[in-house]
């Protein structure tokens, strides 16, 4: 697999949200707006990229018996950096995302990539994988957040798309499940149509 394939698999083929159904806690919890999705996605991408690099770099020094706790410490270090930077430079977004930022530490996407991929691959390959998976995760959160924001409040990134009230359901947790379900349905249908054409 070349590096482009390594990067792009996280965008569509192995998208964490729409295909692998990973990271559902932040996916459903913070995507009330596209901006929240973007903020959470970028934070997760940074943590994923850096933790993949560090796990790959130190894989030969980490004893097998303590590898998972070691990965958690590495991931927690980068989550702390993200928290401090967000608190200092984007406090409003930090408040919106709240508890979901510290929960990146135990996000199954981040831990899974550290365990299943970065611990077995070279440094550059691990970094590209982290960047690709994080970019795919970010795109998924922005799409889901955008759909929910448009339908729920008639805005996108805070800009009015149509006047009046939206459908309140899409701002609430059940709306997250509905929107995600329909997006997965659409993506699976598109993939099937593409496969049938081939």
Q: What is the pLDDT of residues 3-40, one digit of tens each?
A: 998 899 999 889 999 998 988 988 999 999 999 999 99
DSSP 22: -
- Residue 68 pLDDT grade (very low, low, confident, very high; cuts 50, 70, 90): very high
Instruction: Tell me if 47 sits within 8 A of 110, measured CB to CB.
Output: yes
Spatial distance between the Cα atoms of 167 and 139, rounded to a whole number of angstroms? 23
Mean pLDDT of 117-121: 92
Query: Which range in 6-10, 45-49, 169-173 is most confidently predicted, on average pLDDT?
Result: 45-49
Of residues 68 and 194, the one with the higher pLDDT is 68
Dmax over Cα atoms in the chain, in whole Å?
59
User: Which residue would you say has higher pLDDT here, 65 or 165?
Assistant: 65
Residue 160, strand partner residues = 155
* H or E stretch at 178: helix 173-197
pLDDT at 58: 94
């Amino acid at each position: 697999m070349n590096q482009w394939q390594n990067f792009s698999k996280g965008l569509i083929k192995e998208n964490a949200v729409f295909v692998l159904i990973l990271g559902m806690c932040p996916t459903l919890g913070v995507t009330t707006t596209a901006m929240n999705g973007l903020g959470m996605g970028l934070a997760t991408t940074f943590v994923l990229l850096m933790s993949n690099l560090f796990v790959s770099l130190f894989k030969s020094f980490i004893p097998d018996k303590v590898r998972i706790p070691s990965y958690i410490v590495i991931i927690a270090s980068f989550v702390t950096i993200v928290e401090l930077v967000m608190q200092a430079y984007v406090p409003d977004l930090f408040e919106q995302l709240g508890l979901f930022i510290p929960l990146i530490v135990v996000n199954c996407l981040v831990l899974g990539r550290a365990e299943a991929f970065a611990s077995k691959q070279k440094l550059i390959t691990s970094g590209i994988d982290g960047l690709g998976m994080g970019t795919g995760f970010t795109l998924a959160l922005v799409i889901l957040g955008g759909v929910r924001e448009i339908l729920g409040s008639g805005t996108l990134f805070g800009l009015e798309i149509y006047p009046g009230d939206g459908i309140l359901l899409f701002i609430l947790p059940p709306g997250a499940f509905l929107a995600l379900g329909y997006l997965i349905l659409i993506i699976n249908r598109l993939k099937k149509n593409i496969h049938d054409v081939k």
